């Protein structure tokens, strides 16, 4: 599988080194961005907590907002049925 010496850069052992380096560096940059975003999200949850919001509930709301309304309704119906079955 020799890629050759085309626009992808010099090939070593069948690997286009410039292309490989580019792919690795792009993934590394995205991982750094993800790390920064995770830190930003933690900061926002800390802000919510300091404002008196229950972070666990806020996370549940975020999860629900990602779902389809029919899916949420079905889960809530089942939750209600299960609660009643347990006398809650």
| Domain spans of the chain, in order of start | 1-52, 54-88
Rounded-to-integer distance, Cα 77 and Cα 29, Å: 44
CA-angle at 36, arms to 63 and 57, nearest 5°: 25
Average pLDDT over residues 62-66: 94
pLDDT digits (tens, 9 = 90+) for 4-23: 555 555 667 778 899 999 99
Longest dimension (CA), the chain: 73
Q: Which pair of structure tokens corresponds to residue 42? A: 């933690």
Rounded-to-integer distance, Cα 64 and Cα 61, Å: 5
Rounded-to-integer distance, Cα 57 and Cα 1, Å: 53
Count of CB atoms situated within 10 Å of the CB of 14: 9
Rounded-to-integer distance, Cα 80 and Cα 75, Å: 9
pLDDT digits (tens, 9 = 90+) for 30-54: 999 999 999 999 999 999 999 999 9
**What global pTM score does this model have?**
0.65
């Amino acid at each position: 599988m020799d890629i050759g010496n085309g626009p992808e850069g010099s090939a070593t052992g069948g690997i286009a080194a410039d292309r490989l380096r580019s792919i690795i560096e792009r993934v590394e940059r995205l991982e750094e961005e993800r790390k920064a975003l995770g830190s930003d999200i933690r900061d926002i949850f800390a802000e919510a907590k300091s404002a008196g919001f229950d972070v666990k509930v806020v996370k549940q709301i975020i999860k629900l907002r990602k779902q389809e309304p029919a899916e949420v309704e079905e889960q809530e119906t089942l939750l209600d049925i299960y609660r009643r079955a347990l006398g809650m």
